[in-house]
Structure 1
Amino acid sequence: MPIRFEDRTARFEGACTVDEAIPLAEWLCAVEEPRLDLGGCTALHTALLQVLLAAGKPVAVPPEDAFLKGWVMPALGKR
């Protein structure tokens, strides 16, 4: 699975698809002070971006991918 849920950390790896949107939303609601690690993410479906925007949680590890770093991270902002 492109998103691995480990205790309080969600690790995004490779191309993260729409299939992970509901599990991510449920995990974000269930975990206190979740940690988001987008370091290994190479593609992020817009449904996942919407979940992240709605949740308003900070990203602990930004993506290394140039597009995600330049376009997606500014949308998520500093929270």
Structure 2
Amino acid sequence: MSITLRDKTIHLEGRCGVEEAEILLGHLSTADVRVDLGGCEHLHAALAQLLMAAPVPITGEPGGFLGTWLLPFLSAQPNPDGNTG
């Protein structure tokens, strides 16, 4: 499984496909979680949309397209307090 919840951090690792969208949605409903994309190599668009809609902090720095294009966008999303960053 590419998506795990450990110590209030959702870890996305390797290739995260659409079949894991329901798992991610369930983990995102946990209070006070953050998402670690450091080990993520591929992120299906459905999972990216869930992350865009969820006001959770994003940590970790994936390489390639995810790090260059998606991570800056996710980092600019409003946090639970309403501020970006």
Residue of structure 1 in register with 2:3 after alignment? 3
Q: What stretches of structure 1 of length at least 5 have no aligned partner?
A: none
Q: Which residues of 2 match residues 1-79 of structure 1 at below 5 A? A: 1-29=1-29, 31-63=30-62, 65-78=63-76, 79=85
> What TM-score does the superposition give when structure 2 sets the normalisation length?
0.81
* Secondary structure of the corresponding residue to residue 42 of structure 2: strand
**CA–CA separation in structure 2 for the residues paired with 1:56 and 1:22:** 17
Q: Whose RCO is larger (CA < 8 A, sep 6+)?
A: 1
Which structure shows the bigger proportion of residues in helix conformation?
A: 1
Alpha-carbon distance, 1:7 to partner: 3.4
- SS of the equivalent of 1:56 reads coil
Q: Aligned residue pairs: how many?
A: 77
Residue type of the alignment partner of 2:64:
A
List runs of 5+ in structure 2 lacking aligned partners. Answer: 77-84
- Rg bigger for which structure? 2
**RMSD (Å) for aligned C-alpha atoms:** 1.3
| Segment drifting more, 46-55 vs 66-75 | 66-75
